[in-house]
Structure 1
Amino acid sequence: MGDPYWGWLSAGLHLAGGDGSTSFPEVKGNSFTRTGAVAISTAQSRFSSEGSCYFPGGSSDRLVCAAAPAFGMSSGSLSVAFSIRPDVLPSETVRLFMIGNDASPSSLTVEIGTSGSLGLGLPMSGQWIWKNALVAAGVWQDFEISVYGGTGFMFKDGVLAHTQAGMAMPVSGGSKRMLIGSDDAGVNGLSGRFKGYLSEVRFMAGVGRNAADFPAATAPFPEGLELHASKAYAPKPLVVSSPSAWKAVAREPAGLLIDTDNGGRGRVVGTTKNVGTPNYPVARRVRLLRKRDGALAREVWSDAAGNYQFNRVRHDVDYVVMAHDHTGLYNAVVADTVTPELMP
């Protein structure tokens, strides 16, 4: 399963691994390091004993990423998603995420209040979506907060919990840092420290993800997109022409050029799709490469329904099928070791 928003993802951390690990890989290439005693723990896992990141609640316990252009919010839309299992609710409001810094009007924070309230907003402008008594201690729960063009949507376990109109999110862009677990600004009343487990963090600085209920997660978030290759017979025509009442002399068929390198009796058929709920077809440039040496055998565009077909290729070799996203949002997607079917 791929992520149809992969091209817009600014940061993604599974926060999983071996017990005691202090490595926090990020799927888009950003570098997160710890301060304090933050570490991976296998005592709690959101999914199948993969572990999660434990924050002991100390004064300096947080993850930090230096300022990066990927975190620059410039469209007015954004999304933050995460899985969380607090040991306790905080005695002082926790800034679980800080993107930027407290003194900047274009910075963003996600906060958990002492009664389990959850909010996302801009510290200096008062633009907030906020829901009371939403976060519980001692259990795993998944949250997403997305903003589309001025309207905020807050979800718990895939169910819409709250909406908020009139949210003017940052549009200035520019590099920003990202803190996870607590803020370092020392603001009175907002300097709580998160104590508990965190996993499956995703941030998109330029687009929202959901605006209606969606299926609750059953596995770690997917990475990249998928290409769905398949074998199929040629479609039957919708209309079959009747023989004409008169006789005509047929033209001589045009001669076919012989492809001595790649020609044969094989066919490779498949579809190009973006993965979503449900999957949806897209037209993409598709290349057929010989697996043994990478030589280009054929190139076509899939149609509006995502269908592509390579006919009369060698049936006795394996191929690699590669789909390219001409919009520039995604990297190429590859289906390896594709064996042609014999043409009828």
Structure 2
Amino acid sequence: MMLRRLLMASGAPTSDPFWANVTALLHFDGADGSTTFTDQKGSVWTPTGDSQIDTAQWKFGGASGLFDGSGDYISTPNNTGFDFGSGDFTVEFWMRPVANVTATQVLFCKAVGAGARSFSCAVASGNRVYMAVSSNGTNFTDYLSANGVFSAGVFSHIAYVRFGSVLSIYVNGVSVVSQAITTSMFTANCPAQIGGRPSDGQYFNGHIDDLRVTKGVARYTTNFAPPAAAFPNG
């Protein structure tokens, strides 16, 4: 039976048993000010605005991705690895907003406009987290935490997980959203974007580190200890 949760309690894992299911892994490492965003799964991410590597803040590796909330994002062409349909998935990363969130800020999405919307992983006013999911490419259903669940100026681990008919969002290993989902997510033929959704002007103001997307696997199905080290490259 497939293991559904990768345990981190013993420290850094040396390998990832679900590596074949990983469709993106960005450590956001590199020289300060670099505009090269390396994906260990080979996708090419192109920066827009002032998106850059920043060595002033990081969770792992001495650097993270910096997005200033004003036109910054990185994108990669349409990738079926982000077409989740009705299957399990895990989208996770560390994020550090520079200030309390007062309006929607998108962290990772595949949604460029009406008719090409699949999902959007975001934070909302009051320091809440949510995921917007579309079954028809136009209308979103929101899965939103009731309360503020993270703090400004601090890295928090966020995991968006579908496990069967339940969509959950975990913050620092604790479930803050757990709701039924029965629909298949729309297959949008569009780029994926990190750091913002320009079609709606929803940009993240802060740092993102160690972003990993896993298709076909719900890595977390109960509360868990957040990753203690950077994700392994294989």
Query: Which TM-score applies when normalising by structure 1?
Result: 0.59
Give the C-alpha shift of residue 209 in structure 1: 1.7
1:202 matched to 2:212? The reply is yes
Structure 1: how far apart are the matches of 2:174 and 2:122?
A: 19
Alignment of 1:179-328 (within 5 A): 179-186=193-200, 191-224=201-234
Structure 2: how far apart are the matches of 1:174 and 1:57?
A: 25
Asked which structure has the greater RCO (Cα within 8 Å, sep 6+), the reply is 2
Alignment of 1:1-344 (within 5 A): 1-47=14-60, 50-58=62-70, 60-104=71-115, 107-123=118-134, 124-131=138-145, 132-170=147-185, 173=187, 175-186=189-200, 191-224=201-234
Structure 1: how far apart are the matches of 2:206 and 2:49?
A: 14
Give deviations 1:27-72, integer Å, cap 9, x for gaps.
111000100001111101102x5211111222x2101111122222
Structure 2: how far apart are the matches of 1:8 and 1:173?
A: 18
Contact 1:90-1:193 at 8 Å conserved across structures: no
Deviation >6 Å, runs of 4+:
none
Contact 1:146-1:154 at 8 Å conserved across structures: yes
Contact 2:116-2:190 at 8 Å conserved across structures: no
Identity %: 28
Unaligned ranges ≥5, structure 1: 225-344
Unaligned ranges ≥5, structure 2: 1-13
- Tell me, what secondary structure is at the counterpart of 2:25? strand
Structure 2: how far apart are the matches of 1:104 and 1:135?
A: 32
Residues 69 and 62 of structure 1, relative CA distance in 2, 3 Å threshold: same
Contact 1:86-1:137 at 8 Å conserved across structures: yes
- The structure whose Rg is larger is 1
Contact 2:116-2:188 at 8 Å conserved across structures: no
Contact 1:121-1:128 at 8 Å conserved across structures: yes
Give the C-alpha shift of residue 102 in structure 1: 2.8
Structure 2: how far apart are the matches of 1:106 and 1:149?
A: 21
Contact 2:54-2:64 at 8 Å conserved across structures: yes
Give the C-alpha shift of residue 79 in structure 1: 1.5
Structure 1: how far apart are the matches of 2:184 and 2:101?
A: 27
Give deviations 1:170-205, integer Å, cap 9, x for gaps.
1x647542111111213xxxx332111110111124
Which position in structure 2 is the counterpart of 1:321? none
Structure 2: how far apart are the matches of 1:128 and 1:167?
A: 13
Structure 2: how far apart are the matches of 1:5 and 1:62?
A: 27
- Tell me, what secondary structure is at the counterpart of 1:133? coil
- Figure out how many residues of one structure are paired with residues of the other and give that number: 217
Query: Which TM-score applies when normalising by structure 2?
Result: 0.85
CA RMSD of aligned residues (A): 1.9
